[in-house]
Chains A and B, each alone.
Chain A
Amino acid sequence: MAVGKSITRTEGRDKVTGKAKYIDDYTCPDMWYGKTLRSEIAHGRIISINFSDSFDWSQVVVVDYKDIPVKNLVALIFDDQPLLAESVVKHVGEPIILIAAPSKELAERAIKNIEITYEAFPAALSIEESLSVKAKIFGDDNIFKHYTITRGSVADAFQSAEIVVEGSYFVGHQEQLYIETNGVIATTKKDGSIIIQGSMQCPYYIHRAIKEIFGLSDEQVVVIQTVTGGGFGGKEDFPSVVAGHAALLSRKCGHPVKIVYERGEDFAASTKRHPALIKHRTGLTRDGQLLATEVDITFDGGAYCTLSPVVLSRGVIHAIGPYKCPNVKINGSVVATNTPPNGAFRGFGVPQACFAGEMHMEKIAKTLGISSVELRRKNMLREGDITSTGQKLLYSVGTQEVLDTVIERSDYLSRVEEYKNPSDNKCRGIGLSFFYHGGGFTGSGEEKIKGKAAVELDTHGQVKILTASTEIGQGTKTIFRQIVAEELGISLDSVIFGDTDTSKVPDSGPTVASRTCMVVGKVIQMAAANLKNEIKKLVAQKVNCDISQVEIANGQISCPDVEKLSFTQTAIECVKEHGEIKTMAQYSSPPGIKWDEINYTGDAYPVFSYGADVVEVEVDMDTYEVKITKVITASDIGKAINPAMAEGQIEGGMVQALGYGLCEEVVWRDGKILNNRFTNYIIPTALDIPEMETILVEKPYPYGPYGAKGLGELPMDGGAPALVAAIANATGAFITEIPATPERILAALEAK
């Protein structure tokens, strides 16, 4: 049995010996280095670009938008983002000029010898300034996208509500802060074809972007992923920009060009989590039954659209959390501001929605004077219940299990009582959050992508996995090998993971949306089942029996009246006789899935994963410093293909979520980030985080591989509200804006 075991990481040995090669570890003799000159103003027109006479420009290659052969565009959803600015710049850090030089130092010197003068325009730097159209950035109203979800009649339901609770919540930017910065090497061949190697989540996104920029065919662009040092969404769409720049430089200078960002540049220029202003208005009975919920969500998309409509869509769908409410109205907009474009970050709109929604549940409980545990239990979704989009939850609903588990394990109710009377100037508190996360793309997304994957039997009798799903630390290589070994009934050693190279692997869709295991893993399982069938067929022919009589298990093939055959030996013989055997599979939706894109109703996701977090804190009432003392989390992920790796994902996501709630804050002045460094953008260290208890709950999803559902994003959702609820319970400071810095705690106490 391979599935359900904590197998060690496929590429583990390389990662602990320093042999794993990340993009910056590659070099070639004739390689040049690329650098980017960026806008220093938030909004304006470029008046002049002056190249200093004191620099010898013949040593370097200069690229601007005029060097772009076909489309000056980063292809994604809307065609609004130029690869290089032409006359107008819309955010600080927008790329304008590129330099390639034989050394990094020379490229840097060249950049310093260019001076750009601007005519500054008014800039809209916040949601409020965008909505008042202080500056026109997108269309006439600065709204990239708007969604509405309507269920029942909120107007009528508010009439009959015994109590109405309102609240307004705000979350700021968060940086993904993968420890490996963005980087690529682009090589232009003599025939004009382009090879991109680099750090990335989605090789086929880059493939498409490069094709559009250069007007090349599928075959003329090859994208190869190198070992990738973390992504968390930050390497979903952004690497298309870096790759496009490096390819332009390579094409012009005739050398392979490496661009690897320094930390400050990566931080200042790349996408972040969308800031959000979220308002709730909730009508209930006096004993806490939800009757009507109205939510108004506004996301700050930054200067260009990137993935914002999709992020908003997920935020809107998850706005009321895992609760049933018969009357719902959710309005969501994402607006343009003169700040760097925001994009994908683990959770993808849900951490924002979850912070607001769960803090609001705390507020409701306090207003009603009932326990927030009781409030959640009373309203939680259970099997057969219907979500805000009208989706009936038919299976794999682990809501009660995850909530009960964390309440019991933390002894939540006793702790609440115990912490009511602090004995010294250290206040203690415990907080809870309860959440869900839809697995895979929203609505008909998976049906549109129709992800493909394949397995191939090679001359050594090994099964090679061919997929564009990337290993970015989350364990793709290992769990896919486990799934294939399990399906074929062979040992893990017989399964290898092929190179992530668009010239060799089919498009499995992007490595995002908690879909790698649940969606692509299922496709891999189907491809393996097809291969198993092919092998059985060949063996049946050979030994002259019926295919149904052939069985493969434990690395052996058995059929009637023949001694057991070794899988590997038989596979080698099959390949010798018939050539390499490759089987492909493609995604198909589970039965009965219906989604109405226009009215935003129906089955938003094939299935949801569920989580509950409990966080305990100790707050120093002199300094308002918060120490996190305990973290317990329960996650219903259907089935853990690899429990140790699943725990690792949850623990890592949880710490990102606690950083979001506690200390991670991007500081801005005039559209410029002031703390684009590790020195002053603070993420949790090993000392900031206590020992965590991570509990896996397995309510199998009938259409996932061995029951597995989405996992990657769920642990990012609930940490911040559980932490902030604990601070509220400890101190009485009800904080509605994160991170919960000492200043915000003090302000909340003073406002009481």
Chain B
Amino acid sequence: MSVQLNINNKDYVVEVAPMKRLLDVLREDIGLTGTKEGCGEGECGACSVFIDGSVVNSCLVPVCQTNGSKITTVEGLSNNELSKLQQAFIDCNAAQCGICIPGMLIAAQALLDLNPNPSRGEIREAIAGNLCRCTGYMKIVDAIEIAATANKG
């Protein structure tokens, strides 16, 4: 089928099988490989993207359900300049192997969009659907907290 998508503020029309996972469409048909697959069953959050403002595991979404939707991936979080959140992840050394980070950034951005001044507990809750095996989450929570502070300033 033909699917219309607005991805990172750019319009696309793709010819794909209706049940193809949004994750695969993004990675294979559009060439945006920043979104990662960790488990393929919606448990790890590495494939998190925004669909019309909501955070979704793109491995669980057949592309036919997203026709006409606005999608934001990690590549859409910054233009030429890094977002405050991305900069905070760098400054706090929040990324180690980095494979979970695209999804983690999406989850964190979603939190900050709704709650610009979250507590550390609220941050932990917001990223509880995103598994990281490297960091123990401390520096990720630090980064999100600092990005929130930067927002206020």
Q: How far is the CB of B41 from chain A (nearest CB, A)?
A: 6
Q: Is the CB of A678 within 8 A of B41?
A: yes
Fill in one digit per residue for B58-85: 1 if any A CB lies within 8 Å of its CB, else 0: 0000000000000001110110001000
Given A16-B90, A179-B100: A678 in contact with B38 (beta carbons within 8 A): yes
Residues of chain B lying within 8 A (CB to CB) of residue A692: 136, 138
Interface stretch, picked from A20-28, A132-140, A149-157, A301-309, is: A20-28
Partner pick for A8 among B73, B93, B120, CB 8 A cutoff: B93
Interface centre among B34, B82, B131, B138 (most CB of A within 10 A): B138
CB distance from B139 to the nearest CB of A (A): 5
- Is there an interface contact between A17 and B38, defined as CB atoms closer than 8 Å? no
A270 sits at the interface (CB 8 A) = no
Q: How far is the CA of A306 from the CA of B138 in the complex (A)?
A: 34
- Number of A residues near B (Cβ < 8 Å) is 57
Residues of A within 8 A of B151 (CB): none
Query: In whole angstroms, what is the CA distance A219 to B99 when docked?
Result: 32
Task: Check: B95 CB closer than 8 A to any chain A CB.
Answer: yes
Residue in contact with B82 in the complex, picked from A6, A13, A685, CB distance below 8 Å: A13
For B43, what are the chain A residues with a Cβ–Cβ distance below 8 Å?
Answer: 677-679
Q: Is the CB of A18 within 8 A of B38?
A: no
Q: How far is the CA of A176 from the CA of B133 in the complex (A)?
A: 9
What are 27 A-B interface contacts by the 8 Å CB criterion?
A: A6-B93, A9-B95, A15-B98, A16-B74, A16-B98, A16-B101, A18-B73, A18-B74, A177-B133, A179-B38, A179-B44, A179-B131, A179-B133, A229-B98, A229-B99, A230-B97, A263-B40, A473-B97, A645-B93, A648-B136, A652-B96, A652-B135, A655-B136, A679-B41, A679-B43, A687-B128, A692-B138
Chain B interface, >50% SS class = loop
What secondary structure prevails in chain A residues at the interface with B? loop
Task: List A contacts of B100 (CB < 8 A).
Answer: 179
Q: Report Cα–Cα, A127/B36, bound state, in Å.
A: 38
Report yes or no: B139 in contact with A687, Cβ–Cβ below 8 A. no
Name the residue among B74, B91, B95, B123 with the largest chain A CB count within 10 angstroms: B95
A228 within 8 A of B: yes
Instruction: Determine how close the nearest CB of chain B comes to the CB of A514; give it in whole angstroms.
Output: 16
Shortest distance between the CB of A695 and any CB in chain B (Å):
13
Q: With both chains docked as a complex, state the minimum distance between the C-beta of B81 and any C-beta of chain A, in angstroms.
A: 11
Output the least CB separation between B97 and chain A (Å): 3
Residues of A at under 8 Å CB distance from B? Answer: 6, 8-9, 11-22, 24-25, 27, 176-180, 227-232, 262-263, 472-475, 644-645, 647-648, 650-656, 677-679, 683, 685-687, 689, 691-692, 694
Q: Which of B46, B77, B134 contacts A473 (CB 8 A)?
A: B134
> Are A179 and B132 interface neighbours, CB within 8 A?
yes
Shortest beta-carbon contacts, A-B, top 6? A18-B34, A473-B97, A229-B99, A15-B98, A651-B136, A678-B43
A232 pairs with B82, CB closer than 8 A: no
Q: Please, which residues of chain B bring their CB within 8 A of the CB of A14?
A: 98
Instruction: Given the known inter-chain contacts A18-B73, A20-B98, A229-B98, please indicate yes or no for A689 contacting B82, CB distance below 8 A.
Output: no
A258 to B34, CA, bound (A): 19
How far is B73's CA from A16's CA once the two chains are assembled, in angstroms?
A: 12
Tell whether, in the assembled complex, residue A18 and residue B75 are in contact, meaning their CB atoms are under 8 Å apart.
yes
Contact assessment for B37 and A651 in the assembled complex, using a CB-CB cutoff below 8 Å: no
Per the bound structure, the CA–CA distance linking A8 and B96 in Å amounts to: 11
Given A18-B33, A179-B133: A648 and B96 interface contact (C-beta under 8 Å): yes
Known: A18-B35, A263-B39. A644 touches B95 (CB 8 A): no
Partner of B120, one of A15, A648, A691: A691
Report the Cα distance A9→B138, complex, angstroms: 16
**Cβ of B32: which chain A residues have Cβ within 8 Å of it?**
18
With beta carbons under 8 angstroms apart, the residue of A20, A228, A262 that contacts B40 is: A262
Write out the residue numbers on chain A whose beta carbons fall within 8 Å of the beta carbon of B123.
686
8 Å CB interface, B12-38 against A: 27-28, 32-38
Given A179-B100, A230-B99, A651-B139, check contact A24 B34 (CB 8 Å): no
Chain B: CB-nearest residue to A177: B133
Q: Known interface pairs A473-B134, A677-B39. Does A16 touch B93 (Cβ–Cβ under 8 Å)?
A: no
- Contact code string B120-147 (vs A, CB < 8 Å = 1, else 0): 1001110111111111111111000000
Which residues of chain B have C-beta atoms less than 8 A from A655's C-beta?
136-137
Q: Complex: how many Å from CA A413 to CA B5?
A: 61
Asked whether, in the complex, the Cβ of B139 is within 8 Å of the Cβ of A689, the reply is no
Residue of A nearest to B100 (CB): A179
Q: If A685-B128, A686-B141 touch, does A22 touch B99 (CB 8 Å cutoff)?
A: yes
| B37 CB to nearest A CB, Å | 7
* A21 to B27 Cα, complex, angstroms: 12
B89 within 8 A of A: yes
Which residues of chain B come closer than 8 Å to A11, judged between CB atoms?
98
Query: B37 near A24 (CB under 8 angstroms)?
Result: yes
CB-based contact A654/B136 at 8 Å: yes
Assembly CA distance A72 to B101 (angstroms): 39
For A178, the closest partner residue in chain B by CB is B133
Interface centre among A13, A19, A679 (most CB of B within 10 A): A13
Within 8 Å CB of A645, what residues of B?
93
Question: Nearest Cβ in chain B — how far from A83, in angstroms?
Answer: 26
Contacts of A689 in B (CB 8 A): 136-137
Q: Which residues of A are found within 8 Å of B102, using beta-carbon distances?
A: 18
Closest to B33 in A: A25
**Bound complex: CA of A228 vs CA of B133, how far in Å?**
13
Which residues does chain A contribute within 8 Å of B96, judged by CB atoms? 230, 473-475, 648, 652
Cα distance A734–B134 in the bound complex, in angstroms: 30
Is the Cβ of A644 less than 8 Å from the Cβ of B92? yes
Complex contact A179–B136 (CB within 8 A): no
- Separation of A231 and B38 alpha carbons in the complex (Å): 14
Known contacts A9-B90, A18-B73, A652-B134; 18 further A-B pairs (Cβ under 8 A): A17-B75, A18-B102, A24-B36, A179-B131, A180-B99, A227-B98, A230-B96, A231-B97, A232-B133, A472-B97, A645-B93, A648-B96, A655-B136, A678-B41, A678-B44, A685-B129, A687-B125, A692-B136
Instruction: Please measure, in the bound complex, the distance between the C-alpha atom of A392 and the C-alpha atom of B42, giving whole angstroms.
Output: 52
Q: Which residues of A contact B55 (CB under 8 A)?
A: none
Nearest-neighbor residue (CB-CB) of B93 within chain A: A644
Neighbouring A residues of B75 by C-beta, 8 Å: 17-18
Q: Which of A228, A652, A691 has the most CB of B within 10 A?
A: A652
In whole angstroms, what is the CA distance A187 to B129 when docked? 37
Could you tell me the distance between the alpha carbons of A544 and B34 in the complex, rounded to whole angstroms? 54
Q: Would you call B138 and A691 a contact (CB within 8 A)?
A: yes
A273–chain B nearest beta-carbon distance, Å: 14
Q: Which of B35, B77, B92, B97 contacts A228 (CB 8 A)?
A: B97
With A18-B33, A644-B93 already in contact, the answer to whether A678 and B74 are too (CB < 8 A) is no
CB pair A686–B137 under 8 Å, yes or no, is yes
Contacts of A176 in B (CB 8 A): 133
Report A-chain residues with C-beta under 8 Å of the C-beta of B35. Answer: 18
A12 to B120, CA, bound (A): 23
Bound complex: CA A655 to CA B92 (Å):
18
Whether B148 sits at the interface, judged by CB under 8 Å, is no
CB-based contact B38/A8 at 8 Å? no
- State A655–B138 Cα separation when bound (angstroms): 10
| A8 & B90 in contact (Cβ 8 Å cutoff) | yes
Q: B144 to nearest A CB, angstroms?
A: 10
Q: Given the complex, which residues of A lie within 8 Å of B129, measured CB to CB? A: 685
B105 touches A (CB below 8 Å):
yes
Is the beta-carbon distance between A12 and B136 smaller than 8 angstroms?
no
The complex places the Cα of A610 from the Cα of B42 at a distance, in Å, of 39
User: Nearest chain-B residue to A653 (Cβ)?
Assistant: B136
Which partner residue on chain A sits nearest B121 by CB separation? A687
Shortest B74–chain A CB gap in Å is 4
| Residues of chain A within 8 A of B40, CB atoms compared | 262-263
Most buried by B among A22, A263, A685: A685
Across the interface, name the chain A residue whose C-beta is closest to B103. Answer: A179
Query: Which residue on chain B has the smallest CB distance to residue A262?
Result: B40
Chain A residues, Cβ within 8 Å of B38: 179-180, 263, 678
Q: How far is the CA of A11 from the CA of B102 in the complex (A)?
A: 14
Q: Which of A12, A651, A679, A683 contacts B135 (CB 8 A)?
A: A651
